[in-house]
Structures are given as structure tokens and as C-alpha cells.
Amino acid sequence: MRTILINKRLVTIVLALSSITANADAVTHQYVVSIDTNLRQLKVEARFAYPVTAIHARSSEAFRFLQQASDCDNEQLIGVSRRHMLLPNSGVQCIRYTVDLAKAARAERRNATLSSNNVIVSPTAWFWRPAIKNKESIHVRFDLDEAFRVSVPWQPVAGEANTYRLTASPQSSRAPAVFGDFEYHETPINGALLRISILNTRHDFDTAEIVEWVRRSADNISLAYGTFPNPSPSAVVVPVGGSLSGDSPVPFGRVVRDGGETVELFINQNMPIDAYYDDWTATHEFSHLMLPYLGSRHRWISEGFAQYYQNLLLARAGQYTEQRAWQKLYEGLERGRKSSPDLSPNEAARDRWRSLMKVYWSGAAVALLADVELRRRSNGTESLDDVLRQFQSCCLPANARWSGTQLFRRLDGFVDEPVFMPLYRRYANAPGFPDVRPRLQELGVIVDDERVWLDDGAPLAALRSAMTAH
């Protein structure tokens, strides 16, 4: 009995120590950010959970906007060397610093068309922080004038106004942080709450239809497998008029994964609303969120899967006919086939701008081949949709960068027989372009003088119709 009692005590002690260690690891640094009503100065007080010995900003230009930094306790000034604050070896647990927000805003080209009552300044220019270790997070509370709002890609903290939680992330690009008087909407989509910020321009325009278009574009993604891949995404809409592309309603869009996932859409607010629904950009950008951030080496996979899905999803949403979706896919695949035929997809990704169409459409060809193979061998009961649904359940949103091979191996783990890595080994390092023509013929996608018509008598015509059914 004595031995059993000792073992129980040991187990209790070990469990208690494990609990203490786990709780000690799960630490939160606390930031308070205040901004003056003229949007000219930003002040930060950061209190750390333990003494930190290294604080940095992501942008090498951030030091140009930093006006002053000091220790909270003894007001000892802190020096700066490019992206790093020079801290004592013993570390600090609290700092205060001031940023010239107006100067940082002038360096942001995105502010060129905006009114003076709102600005975009990326956190890379003003957010100085320690590295976020495993189980750590930063809570950032914004102390704002009651007439102002803030939009950041980070996750809102429930029950705490203007407070956001920042954890480790791929830091794929310079996320937009928006301050001032702008429109903000929260709208439910399948499995998620979408946060939409629409910035103000020097000229008023009706935003209600724009909000609905963004919502429907995001909701299109749930047509892949029933839910949106991230429960709390954000979208920032920047009106630019015709300054980027006069005849395009959405001249540019991008996804930023920097403490959260944001889709940034630059729009020509002077275009009629029908033009937005006829444009693919928003659905393409939201489609990116079905995969983790892959980085530049395997950009051809992430861009290609988004190219593939934008056309299928727009057809499933009823915005494209089945024929138009396949016409768009065929035209894109042809552009990819003709782009840099001497390069492999992996090589093209290293020279993206010279081989842009190969980068954007090689992955679409692989996605098509994978989807058709999954549907063919299962007689239509399994598809790329199903594989990505399982991937979403296990792995999204992702807080780290993935490689293309890591992704494909994981996707192959959801099917009985590998599909994705065999396609990667066949095409990723091979000059030329994946040959999709035999599969298109089997699907009944027939091309006559560059125009697509659909043959419903083809061997895989039923599978083709299911790919765009709504």
C-alpha cells in the first residue's frame, strides 16, 4: 500500500508540474496603441510577460518613423539600429515609443486616393515587438477617439473592444492596418464572420452594393466544400478610381497572411455593380485561403489552384455558365502552355515576371488533372473538393509557411492511392507544361477555332458537369 501511495503522489506532482509548465508557456504580451485625432502620431506602450532581450520591426524603414523609445520604469532611452531596438542584456519588461504616423502614411502609396480622415499604415512600419514563441501571443488594444475605427488582420478578442490577438503567422507580406473614419461591416458567411473595411475617398460613392459583392465573393468559396476555410477573415477595400486600370472594376487584389488572413481589393468605384460580379479577382483571392501560404518557390501551386477554383466556383455560383467557365479555363491553360516553354514550373516561379502565365496556370493544370483523376477512379464520389475539405479540417488556417511538397504529401494522405506527389514528380521540374488535352477531350471540352463547346456524349461528360454544378 505504501508503494502505491508514493506512486500516486509522484503522479500528482508530475501532473501539477506539467500544468504549471504549460500555463507558464502560454504567455501574453500586452500592447496599448493610441492615435491622435489628426492621425499624425501613434503612441505604443508594450508590457511583456517576461524580460525580453530583442525587439524588432519587420520593415527596415521603420526606424525612419520612430520618434522616441524608452523603458517605462526609468525612462532610459532605447537606441535603434535599422530594424532592431538596442536593449540591455538583462532585457526589458515595458517600453514606450512614439511613431510619426503622418510620415509613415506618406510612404504608403495606398493612401494616394484616400480622404484625409483615414490612413493605411502597415504594422511593419510601426509595430515593434519580440519574436512570438510557441504558445505565446500579443494582445493589442487600440485606444481611439470615439469617431475612429481600426482595421487589422489580427483576431478580435471576444468581449474586449478594439482589442486583437496576434500569434505566429507566415508574415507573407505587408498587411494593411487602417485607422480613422471609414466604413466597417461584419457579415456572416458559411462557417465564418467576415470583417469588411471600406476606405473613404475624396469623393463619396455608394458602398452598400460593394459590401454585398465582397460578401458573396467570399461566400463563393464555401461552394467548394460547404464552409469558408477561415472562421475570422478580413477584407479591406481600397477605392482607387481609374488610376490603376481604367476599364477594370478590380484592377488588383492580394492575400496577406500577417497575424491573420486579409484579402485586400483595389476597386474602381466608378464602375457599375454588374461589372464587379463579372470580374474574377475577388473570388480568386478568397480561393487562396483554401491552401496555406506556400512562399515564392511553389507560388505556381497556390496561384494555379486559385485560378482553377475561381472558374469552377463562379460557375457554381451562377455567375458563369458551364461553357464560359471552361472557355476561361481553356484560354488560361493555353496562355500557360505558351509561356516560357523552356522552363519548368519550379524554374518559372524563380523568374515570376518573365513567366507569369506559366506561374499562374501550371498549378491550375495540375489541379485539373488531380480533380479529374479523383473523380474518375471513384466514379464521381470523391473529388478535389473532398480532399481540400479534409485538409481544412486538420490544417487551416495555418500559422506557418508550407512547401508545395509538404502540402501535396499531406493531401495524398487523405486518399487511398497517391495523386498529388506523382503529378508533382512528373511536372514540377520538367520543362514545358502539363498536357491536359487528353483529359479535356474525355471531359467533352472540345475546342474549335479557339472556341470551346461541350460534348455531353464524351466519356467523362457527367463528371465535367458535376464540377461546375450549382
Taking a C-beta distance cutoff of 8 angstroms, is the pair 385, 316 a contact? no
**Ramachandran assignment for 383, one of left (phi > 0), alpha (psi -120 to 50 degrees), beta (any other):** beta
Question: Is residue 187 domain-shared with residue 64, that is, in the same domain?
Answer: no
Contacts of 68 by beta carbon, 8 Å cutoff, 6+ apart: 77, 97, 98
Cα(188)–Cα(174) distance, integer angstroms? 26
Q: In this structure, which amino acid lies at residue 311?
A: N
pLDDT tens track for 140-181: 999 999 989 999 999 999 999 999 999 999 999 899 999 999
The reply to whether 348 and 423 lie within a common domain is yes
d(CA 290, CA 279): 20
Domain count, the chain: 3
The CATH number covering residue 314 comes to 1.10.390.10
Report the pLDDT averaged over residues 92-107: 96
Q: Identify the domain boundary among 243, 264, 290.
A: 290
pLDDT band for 2, please (50, 70, 90 cuts): very low
Predicted confidence at residue 77, as pLDDT, reads 79
- Whether the CB-CB separation of 399 and 261 falls below 8 Å is answered with no
The confidence score (pLDDT) of residue 20 equals 36
List of long-range contacts for 330-333, beta carbons under 8 Å, 24+ apart: 330/440, 330/445, 330/447, 330/452, 331/450, 332/307, 332/357, 332/360, 332/361, 332/364, 333/361, 333/364, 333/365, 333/368, 333/433, 333/436
**Residue 72 burial by CB count (10 A; 0-12/13-18/19+): exposed, middle or buried?**
middle
Whether residues 455 and 344 share a domain: the answer is yes
Tell me whether residue 51 is in a domain.
yes
Indicate whether 196 and 252 sit together in one domain: yes
By residue range, what is the domain housing residue 416? Answer: 291-468
In a domain, 175, yes or no: no
Q: Is the pLDDT of residue 78 over 80?
A: yes
Co-location of 145 and 261 in the same domain: no
Same domain, 135 and 211: no
Domain ends where: 290, 319, 346? Answer: 290
Check whether residue 284 and residue 317 sit in a common domain.
Answer: no
* Claim to verify: residue 191 and residue 62 sit in the same structural domain: no
Domain membership flag for residue 264: yes
CA-based end-to-end distance of the chain: 68
Whole-number pLDDT of residue 112: 87
Q: Looking at mean pLDDT, say which of 109-123, 172-186, 316-330 comes out highest.
A: 316-330
pLDDT value at residue 247 = 83
In a domain, 118, yes or no: yes
C-alpha cell at position 122:
502597415
Nearest to 233 by CA among 138, 154, 317: 154
Three-state SS for 92?
A: strand
Specify the pTM.
Answer: 0.92
What strands lie across the sheet with 66-71, from one edge to the other?
A: 66-71, 92-100, 41-52, 28-35, 137-143, 163-166, 155-156
Helices (H), 239-344: 273-277, 281-287, 299-316, 322-338
**d(C-alpha 411, C-alpha 155), whole Å:** 27
- Check residue 25 and give its pLDDT: 57
Distances from the Cα of 218 to the Cα of 15, 235, 282, 399, angstroms: 45, 9, 8, 21
Average pLDDT for residues 40-58, to the nearest whole number?
96
**399 lies in the same domain as 305:** yes
In the block, cell 500569434 appears at 167
Q: How far is CA 83 from the centre of its chain?
A: 24
Task: Look at residue 387 and tell me if it is in a domain.
Answer: yes
Across 332-340, average pLDDT: 97
| Averaged pLDDT score across all residues of the chain | 91
Q: How far apart are CA 80 and CA 70, in angstroms?
A: 11
- 15-24, 128-137, 170-179, 276-285: which range is least confident on average? 15-24
CATH number of the domain where residue 114 is located:
2.60.40
Residue 15 is assigned to a structural domain of this protein: no
According to the model, what pLDDT value does residue 4 have? Answer: 32
**349 and 436 inside one domain:** yes
Same domain? For 203 and 344 the reply is no
> pLDDT-based confidence at 21, cuts 50/70/90?
very low
- Give Cβ neighbours of residue 161 (< 8 Å, ≥ 6 apart): none
d(CA 52, CA 43): 20
DSSP 375: H
- Residue 8 falls within a domain, yes or no? no
Residues 199 and 73 in one domain: no
- Domain end point (choices 229, 262, 290): 290
C-alpha radius of gyration, the chain, whole number: 25
User: What is the DSSP code string of 320-361?
Assistant: S-HHHHHHHHHHHHHHHHHS-TTS-HHHHHHTTTTTHHHHHH
Q: Is the pLDDT of residue 415 over 60?
A: yes
**Residues 45/96, Cβ–Cβ less than 8 Å:** yes
What are the φ and ψ backbone dihedral angles of 173, each rounded to 5 degrees?
-165, -170
Residue range 313-342: mean pLDDT, rounded: 97
Asked if the structure places residue 176 within a domain, the reply is: no
Using one digit for the tens of pLDDT, what is the confidence trace for 189-246? 999 999 999 998 877 788 999 999 999 999 999 999 999 999 999 999 999 987 665 6
Please choose, from the candidates 262, 351, 252, the residue with its C-alpha nearest in 3D space to the C-alpha of residue 299: 351
Measured CA angle at 400 (ends 397, 401), to 5 deg: 105
Q: What is the mean pLDDT of residues 299-322?
A: 98
